[in-house]
Amino acid sequence: MTKVIELNVKSNYIAEYKKGYPLINKDTIMNTNALKEEGSIVHLIDENRQFITKGYYGKQNKGLGWVLTHNKTEAIDFAFFKSRLEVALNARQSFYKNTETTAFRVFNGEGDGIGGFTIDYFDGYYLINWYSAGIYSFKDHVISAIDELCDYKAIYEKKRFDTKGQYIDDDDFVKGTRGEFPIIVKENGMNYAVYLNDGAMVGIFLDQRKVRKAIRDEYSKGKNVLNTFSYTGAFSVAAAHGGAMKTTNVDLAKRSKSKTIEQFSVNSIDYEQQDIKVMDVFEYFKYAKRKELKFDVVVLDPPSFARSKKHTFSTAKDYPALIKDTIAITEKNGVIVASTNNASFGMRKFKGFVDKAFKEMNTNYKILEEFSLPSDFKTNPIFPQGNYLKVLIVEKR
């Protein structure tokens, strides 16, 4: 039987844990030196050694582990994982029935009651993302729960928890029948090529589903669209479906060009009518200003942190400057789709970035729409950091 480690909660955090705060971290625990082996079960206790809640130790970028249950006697076993997954699956039944969208999140970590891993569904395939060695120690329970509750073609996994917090690049196949990749999934009737066996990324970020639909349905018809940090061009596919006159895709990664060509091709969109550039986005802004290029729609979805030969970018510090660069190449009455997945600040601060940039450029604006995570990305209201996605659709006046 696994030894239970008792963790002393600092007095000013006890009430939060009793309310349902899910993250165990060094700021809330007095005796973190008691933590030795990831996957250990921990009891959070108060100054009188009274039980508060139960969790596990698993280091990831967010903290030291996650709360699992407020029931001291509840075993963290197969039945526990199966019960949480069953509730999550039942909450997504409408997604399974939607033939226009065949890729969505099935289990969203702490939002569904167990932090540290997620499960995504891709047209009969399940993909598990593990974010710590601690949660990975429960792998057999999770796989067995999927076995009992789901029909599937295959299960794949991504391990994102080596000592430097990076993706562990080994065979991602777990069980079932190996897929022939790419598989083509649907999202609101659009096609996307997905790879479950080729590095950390699969080809599409499912949390942006509502934003892609808005770009297609509301903002693209007859427009000249710039997609920066474009990855595989998913936003541009949506724009092209919406009748965009042309899309320009800019990303520094060499693979982005072939991946973007593929996404256009699986939608029967002529990629040769689109512009696909492999270059530093910040250098492209300079190029566009020199050439006096202007765009009707600009999509900004940078990584939280990025480094190139000439630039280091952090959303928390540099986003206002990025918006200023964008304003300069956006047509009057044009639209900027400003997005970030940085969990370290909220929507209010993000709106402040936008306001700061427009004021410094002496330009008026109007926020037309805002988006956060879609409903399959369930969040815990006591843990606002879990609702990390912030998207503003801003009109330049």
Residue-level pLDDT at 154: 98
Which regions of the chain carry the CATH code 3.30.750.80? 78-188
Neighbours of 36 (CB within 10 A): 9
| Residue 295 burial (C-beta neighbours within 10 Å; 0-12, 13-18, 19+) | buried
Which regions of the chain carry the CATH code 2.30.130.10? 5-69
Write out the two tokens for 86. 């069953």
Q: Are the C-beta atoms of residues 361 and 376 closer than 8 Å to each other?
A: no
Which regions of the chain carry the CATH code 3.40.50.150? 205-396
The structure's pTM equals: 0.96
Residue-level pLDDT at 162: 73
CATH 3.30.750.80 is right for the domain spanning 78-188: yes
Cβ-based neighbours of 152, under 8 Å, separated by 6 or more: 124, 125, 126, 146, 176
Helix runs in 242-343, H state only: 255-265, 281-290, 315-328
Query: What region does 362 belong to: left with phi over 0, alpha with psi -120 to 50, or beta?
Result: left
Residue-level pLDDT at 165: 61
Residue-level pLDDT at 199: 85
d(CA 342, CA 137): 28
Contacts of the segment 17-22: beta carbons below 8 A, 24+ positions apart: 17/44, 17/52, 17/53, 17/67, 18/52, 18/53, 18/70, 19/382, 20/67, 20/70, 20/380, 20/382, 21/67, 21/382, 21/383, 22/66, 22/67, 22/110, 22/115, 22/380, 22/382, 22/383
> Which fold does the domain 205-396 belong to in CATH?
Rossmann fold (3.40.50)
Per-residue pLDDT of the chain (397 residues), as tens digits, is: 468 999 999 999 999 999 999 999 999 999 999 999 999 999 999 999 999 999 999 999 879 999 999 999 999 999 999 999 999 999 999 999 999 999 999 999 999 999 999 999 999 999 999 999 999 999 999 999 999 999 999 999 999 987 666 777 778 999 999 999 999 999 999 999 999 998 889 999 999 999 999 999 999 999 999 999 999 999 999 999 999 999 999 999 999 999 999 999 999 999 999 999 999 999 999 999 999 999 999 999 999 887 777 778 888 899 999 999 999 999 999 999 999 999 999 999 999 999 999 999 999 999 999 999 999 999 999 999 999 999 999 999 9
Q: What is the DSSP string of 353-384?
A: HHHHHHHHTT--EEEEEEE---TTS---TT-G
Residue-level pLDDT at 255: 94
The matching CATH number, chosen from 2.30.130.10, 3.40.462.10, 3.20.20.60, 2.160.10.10, for 5-69 is 2.30.130.10
Residue-level pLDDT at 202: 96
